[in-house]
Amino acid sequence: QVQLVQSGAEVKNPGASVKVSCKASGYTFTAYFLHWVRQAPGQGLEWMGRINPDSGGTDYAQKFQGRVTITRDTSITTAYMELNSLRSDDTAVYYCVVDSQGRDWGQGTLVTVSS
């Protein structure tokens, strides 16, 4: 059974960075792309980027280019999403998602950006 367990909620000041982790289990970690999707309060779903856990190759949404970095550590089957220069409108729940058809989702990590 696929499980994606994300790190806990974060509160950050504007201008800071946040790094969210996603621990995967129950499948071959390197076999499927892993995506990050965010959801601002009361809003819809927004794709941020993805990583190929096998090669480490990434794609990012244009909106987040230069501000987001997705990495992985295959030894511990964990992916990471780091977002820099945080603004108040980055306040959202961040989800990791297995495979490009959205098959399985993590529980979400609330990131609050506030001074």
Partner 1 sequence: DVVMTQSPLSLPVTLGQPASISCRSSQSLAHSDGNTYLNWFQQRPGQSPRRLIYKVSNRDSGVPDRFSGSGSGTDFTLKISRVEAEDVGIYYCMQATHWPPLTFGPGTKVEIE
Residues that bind partner 1 (CB under 8 A): 35, 37, 44-47, 49-50, 59-62, 95, 100-108
Tokens of 15: 């201008």
| DSSP 8-state code for residue 75 | G
CB of 44 to partner 1, least distance (A): 5
CB of 88 to partner 1, least distance (A): 22
Name the residue nearer to partner 1 (CB basis): 8 or 14: 8
Name the residue nearer to partner 1 (CB basis): 5 or 16: 5
CB of 61 to partner 1, least distance (A): 5
d(CA 24, CA 58): 18
CB of 35 to partner 1, least distance (A): 7
Query: Element (H or E) spanning 22, and its range?
Result: strand 18-25
Name the residue nearer to partner 1 (CB basis): 8 or 44: 44
d(CA 82, CA 70): 6
How many other CB atoms are found less than 10 A from the CB of residue 66? 9
d(CA 84, CA 62): 15
> Which amino acid is present at 64?
F
Name the residue nearer to partner 1 (CB basis): 59 or 73: 59
